[in-house]
Structure formats: C-alpha cells, structure tokens
Chain A
C-alpha cells in the first residue's frame, strides 16, 4: 500500500509540472488555435537563465542564503521568459496571423529549433547541474516519502493554477481573453485590443514556463539544452488529454498523465508477470491519450468548438 501511495506522490509531482507547462499550450491554443511548439523551449530557457544567475551569485557570494539566491534566479528567469514569449509572438506568429494555419505551425517548430541551438551555443552541450542549495528535508506520509521540494512544487503549481483561473474568470483582462477566444473580430468590434490580449497571453504563458523550468531543473538536479523537447511534448499531450483550450482541462490532463505514467511504470511489470516491462511506460501514457481521444475527441473537459464562419 505504501508503494501505491509513493507512486501516487511521484505521479502528482510530475503531473503538476506537466500541468504548469500545459497551461501555456492551452492558453495560446484557446485564443489563437495555434500550437506553440516553442513553449517547451521557453521552459528550457527559463531553467538555463535561472541556473546561470544562481551559479554566478554563488560564485560571487558563496555564503549567500540559499533561498535568496534561488529567488534571484527565478526572478531573473521570469521576466526574461516573458520578454522571450512576447518576441516569439511578435516575430514568428503575428505576421502570419492571416496566413493558412499550417504556416504558423511551421514557424513554431522553427522557433523551437532556433531556441534549442541558441541555448546550445550559449550554455554548451554538457549537462548543467543544479547547485546543492535546496533543503533536503523529507517527511513520511502514510509510508511514502515526501520531500519539502515536492511539497513546494505541488503547492506552488496549485496556487498558480488557482490564480490563473481567477485571472481569466474574474478580471477585466480575463474577460477580454475569453472574448478574444470566442471571436477575435467580434472582440475587436467591442473595443478589445486583440493584439495586446494575445501578447499578454504569451507573456503569462511564458512566465509559467519559466517557473516550471526552474522547478524541473531543481527537482531533477540538472538542465540541458534539449530538456524542453520531451517536457513540451508531454505537456502538450496533457493539454490534449484534458481538452486543449480549456484551463481546468490542462491541469486535469497534466496531473492525470503524471499519475498514469508513474503507476504504469511502477506496476506494468508486476501485473503482466514480467512480460511487459517499464520500457512500456510511455506507451502506457500515450495509450491512455489515444483511448480518451477515441471516445472523447475533444479531450476530457474540452467542448466542441464551433467552426468559425
């Protein structure tokens, strides 16, 4: 039983990181119906910038308090990624807004390749390790080991998701975002500055990506120029699983994908008597995705989007 709880904890931590990245995909899709494939790379850039700042600070002030150094890293990564998100939208997507839908998809992949290679040139090809400044505390809950870092990751993710939901549901900006998502032309006629709304969407999504990037590198203890690719792919799948374009769906999809992966990898070998091993972990996760899409093509919480006239 304690093993089951432990796997659930593993899955929830992984899932909340997926969910945070998935929110970025789903927000952009909700408004532009564009899959921003560069989003995973923004996560990576966030991790890299935070690590560079943390490394430089620790080099200059080895005795600096860990929390302060970490905070400085995060506070450097967030505005940098926000700026990056804005620039990506401005340079790669806005000029193509009236182009066929395949065109921005291709520039999205292009931006992702450019960012990967830029990161490779700036930070090199080796794995960068996260300095050991994080607390190592852990607790035992129902027989499962839960570390302080895991608690922070899950709590922070839930807090951010809650805040984002409030922003979209309760504020003027949120209303403008929802209006733009429903119909860009109509929102424009009602006096909404659509370009600003879209820019802000990218900026918010990129800020979330920066936080997720720092979380991932802190949790796994490393960063690498290629780390955004797989994370982006998984988070995108999570967004589709939950219903792309739907905020609650992205959260649900992320958490669910994380838990399915953990339980799949943990139990598939024992359940099949060793016939299938943990090498089928990803197969398991994507099988769940396919099954959901077969029976609910819009994802778990997605609604059918009416074809625009």
Chain B
C-alpha cells in the first residue's frame, strides 16, 4: 500500500506535466449531497478535458482534481484552503457555501491562486477586491433585486414582512430584497429575525399577522422554511411566502408538505432544461453519476472557464491565468460566461419558481 502510494506525489506523469486543481465542497454533513454534486460536475469537466488532451506551451499536460471536504464549516474551509496551497494546487473550484468561500478566498488571494466558486452567492465574496475571486452564478444582490421587483410589480405586494435567519446568506439576501422592495415603492411592514437552528416561528408570525402584510419574505434555508410555511397556514396568515434559493429545493417540499403549495422561490441562473447546454449536460452527467442535485452544471462551467484561461495564457502559472480570466467570454452549459470588474458573472439571470401540485414549476426567468 505504502509503496504504491509514493508515486502519486510526483508532478510529472508518463504523458507529461500534471496540473493540480482543488475542488472544495462539503463532502460530509447535511449538505454533503449538494457538495458531492458540485464535485462530480467539476470531475466530469476535468475528465473530458483530459480525454481530449490538453497542451500548454507545446507540452501535453494532465489535469488532476483534488477533492477536499470543508464540511460547510468556515474554520475547516480555511484549513483545507491552506492544505491545497501547500500541495501546489494551481487553481481552486469552490467552495460551495458563501460562509466557507469567503474565509478561504483570503488564503487563495494571499498566494495568488485563482478561485472560481460555482455556487457561493454572498455579495461580500467578490466585494473584497481580491482579483483572484470569481464566480459563475448570479449573486445575492442580483437575486434579492429580482425577488423584490417581482414581489412588487408582478405579485402586487404593497406591505411586505421580511424574516431572515441571521446567517451571511440569509441576512444578505433579505437586505437586498428589502432595498429592492422599497425602491419599487412598497413598504416594509415588519422585519423579524430567527436563527438557522430554530423550528418555532409562531411568535414572529403572529406579530407579522397583526400587521397584515400581503407578502412574507424569508431569507434562509429549507429546514426553517418548511416549518415556517406550515405555521403560517396554521395561524391563518394568508400572505404569500417568498424565498430565495435556500427554499428552492426538494427538501423544502418534503418538510412543508401540503403547505408548500403556492410558495414562490427563486434560484440563480436558468432552469436546467432552459440552459443552452442543459439537456445534453444532464444526459452526460446522469449516465455517470445519477441525478443532478443543483449546482453541478456550474461546477462544470467553472472548470471550463479556468481551462480556457489556461489555454489563452498557454500556461497553468496562476499569475498568467489570472491575467486571462477577466477576458473570459465563452458559451457555457449554464449560459454565456463573462465576468464584470469584480469577478461576478455579467448579466446573470434569476429564475422564479412556484410550488404547484407538490413540485417546483418555472414561473419566469429575470435577467
């Protein structure tokens, strides 16, 4: 065992130079199914590129994807990031959560390594001015704005109540939503708070009911959103429940049960079927790994963006790749891929869904 293990440490393989790319996601914990999904998306892209054969500076190179587990924990994320740097990773695809991506981004920045997150949406990630931090998904500002405008113009909300779970994601999204609602001319009737571990919302929902809003927005995840929609029905609070991508998943439908009916939530990007390369990707991916959870196409695109930059630079040297990343302009599975000055996806879209007969149905996609 030990003897065979030794060969892996070398950075030259029989067919040329090996370039290490990190892939960091939670592989354990409650979000591990989403983490594995991202990792599989990245792996699919890496294997395809290796199969086609990649040449940099006239030499054949092989990509090696190193999968690391950050357990969705900010502290572990920093440790793992440092480990990847020490192992000589030339670039990193990840992390999955905003809470882990932000602390890790500092380490990649300090070491000048490009980082492309497939799924971190918090505004703060690219607002640090790092120049190494990119993402291929619309951020919470874009999502919050789309949700706020939709609530007022399409759903006709005039009085809105906002609840958030006090996490970087939930609070950030709720703040952006609130701004957009005010800008669109509706009023905020209540701003309430809970935590990402709570299950009882009856007190804040009763207080909200007393203010008679026509819409309740929740910035948070499905373990809270599920019971919240049940408790709204129970208390006779007839306002529309609206949420972000934290609610737009299968688990929410399971937890909310029949009370999920009619809930509206958004998710960055296009629905898979409407993505330019969606159906083809789905077929490829599912033949090998099984059903797509959520963000796998974004992880796939992130790898392709990175490798395209390496090809343009004709090198895997982080500094040269970083110089090429802003020039990205290509068609990905998820849509056109271009970055703005901060590293956010330019013109990212947001899709709204409504629960109908126990399933998420696409309402519309907002640019």
Contacts and interface: CB of A to CB of B under 8 A. Distances in A.
Contacts of A281: 203-204
Contact of B209 (A6, A13, A261, A264): A6
Contacts of A267: 207
A222 B227 CA distance: 8
B166 to A, nearest CB: 6
A147 to B, nearest CB: 6
Interface in A42-78: none
A262 B203 contact: yes
Interface string B249-292: 00100111110000000000000000000000000000000000
Contact of A221 (B32, B190, B210, B227): B227
Most chain A CB within 10 A, of B166, B203, B254, is at B203
Contacts of A230: 197
A270 interface: yes
Contacts of A272: none
A275 interface: no
Overall SS of chain A's interface: helix
Given A145-B235, A267-B207, A132 B202 contact: no
B199 A227 contact: yes
Interface residues of B, number: 33
A216 B227 CA distance: 12
A123 to B, nearest CB: 12
Interface in B163-216: 166, 190-194, 197, 199-200, 202-204, 206-207, 209-210
Interface string A1-36: 001001100110110000000000000000000000
A266 interface: yes
**Interface size grouping (class) on chain A:** 35 or more
A145 B203 contact: no
A278 interface: yes
Interface in B233-260: 234-236, 251, 254-258
B251 A125 contact: no
A220 interface: yes
A200 to B, nearest CB: 32
A193 interface: no
B32 A278 contact: no
A278 B193 contact: yes
A222 B255 contact: yes
A222 B210 contact: no
Contacts of B254: 129
A219 B222 CA distance: 17
B230 to A, nearest CB: 5
B207 A269 contact: yes
Contacts of A216: 199
A136 to B, nearest CB: 8
A267 B204 CA distance: 9
Nearest to B33: A126
A138 interface: yes
Contacts of B207: 3, 7, 265-267, 269-270, 278
A261 B223 contact: no
A125 B203 contact: no
A172 to B, nearest CB: 40
Closest CB pairs A-B (n = 8): A279-B193, A265-B203, A10-B202, A3-B210, A262-B203, A266-B207, A220-B199, A125-B30
